């Protein structure tokens, strides 16, 4: 066998599994700044044309470690209760690349005079898988995994609920509801597994210049332990988010987001692994940018806390 063993090991640890069941969806440490990646009901809830981009380099120092780029945009449609979104994800692990294109549609209803809303959303799109095994270092030319595995589009749909007010939110979603099965003679069977997400957060004023925002995301799938991320961030002078995160039994880290102005924000996070992998990598890095565009005479329907 050649170096693809390393790739398959990473797949089983972090993203995709060819034999058995493992976490398949990409995880983000700055999830609270891009809820649309897992919940279509988030579309349009900022009351602006919003763009978010995240680049994640995981387990730096390990050859073939995961690298993910995510760009999403969403907006209300013609000042109505209907919103739409679009997202693209490129996820590379060793010789494997997954490209995802998804569209979102959401509808919100106002629950009370306090400004509490319930948004309902659907997500649809395709995933393209490509494994370029021929680019690996070949030791055994008779290896059955030698030939490239061509991309195959897999259609999927997802759904979500998102309840929010001025200073709190709670979301429940499943981005992929169809468990597609892809069979390949050279690589075996691959099955897409349904993932379920529960997210939540609240903003608590400390004083006139400091806000405290604890948040969490819980991820569950069949035959795998529940993964939980918790984050505690502080907003200083409506300009700087500074926080710490903990992923139960997996990692911890810090995050920093700066609002350049009312329309542009940039951020960075660093994760340190708490598993045995910490001996072989120098951590995980994420960078983020966010853009909110709106008419000058229109106020945001919700503040920029989430």
Average pLDDT, consecutive stretches of 10 residues, N- to C-terminus, the chain (306 residues): 40 38 72 93 94 94 90 92 96 88 97 93 92 63 58 88 95 91 59 90 95 96 87 95 94 95 94 88 94 70 63
SS3 at position 24 = coil
Q: What is the pLDDT of residue 39?
A: 97
pTM, 2 dp? 0.85
Q: Give the Cα separation of 248 and 215 in Å (integer).
A: 14
Q: What is the pLDDT of residue 159?
A: 98
Q: Give the Cα separation of 259 and 301 in Å (integer).
A: 18
Q: What is the pLDDT of residue 177?
A: 92
Q: What is the pLDDT of residue 193?
A: 84
Q: Which CATH class is domain 4-293?
A: mainly beta
Instruction: Give Cβ neighbours of residue 220 (< 8 Å, ≥ 6 apart).
Output: 195, 196, 198, 226, 227
């Amino acid at each position: 066998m050649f170096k693809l063993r390393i790739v398959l090991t990473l797949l089983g640890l972090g993203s995709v599994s060819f034999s058995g069941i493992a976490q398949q969806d990409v995880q983000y440490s700055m999830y609270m700044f891009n809820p649309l990646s897992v919940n279509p009901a988030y579309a349009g809830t900022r009351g602006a044309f919003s763009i978010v981009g995240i680049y994640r380099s995981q387990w730096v120092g390990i050859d073939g470690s995961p690298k993910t780029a995510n760009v999403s945009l969403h907006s209300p449609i013609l000042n109505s209760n209907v919103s739409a979104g679009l997202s693209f994800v490129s996820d590379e692990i060793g010789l494997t690349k997954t490209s995802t294109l998804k569209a979102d549609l959401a509808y919100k209803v106002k629950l009370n005079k306090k400004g509490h809303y319930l948004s309902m959303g659907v997500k649809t799109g395709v995933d393209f898988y490509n494994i370029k095994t021929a680019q690996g270092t070949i030791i055994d030319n008779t290896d059955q995994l030698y030939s490239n595995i061509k991309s195959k589009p897999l259609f999927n749909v997802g759904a979500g609920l998102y309840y929010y007010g001025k200073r709190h939110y709670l979301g429940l979603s499943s981005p992929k509801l169809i468990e597609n099965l892809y069979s390949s003679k050279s690589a075996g069977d691959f099955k897409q597994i349904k993932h379920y997400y529960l997210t939540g957060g609240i903003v608590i004023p400390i004083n006139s210049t400091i806000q405290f925002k604890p948040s969490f995301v819980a991820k569950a799938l069949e035959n795998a332990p529940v993964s939980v991320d918790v984050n505690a961030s502080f907003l200083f002078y409506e300009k700087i988010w500074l926080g710490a995160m903990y992923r139960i039994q997996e990692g911890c880290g810090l995050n920093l987001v700066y609002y350049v102005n009312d329309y542009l924000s940039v951020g960075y996070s660093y994760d340190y692994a708490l598993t045995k992998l910490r001996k072989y990598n120098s951590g995980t890095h994420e960078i983020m940018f966010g853009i909110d565009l709106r008419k000058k005479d229109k106020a945001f329907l919700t503040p920029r806390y989430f």
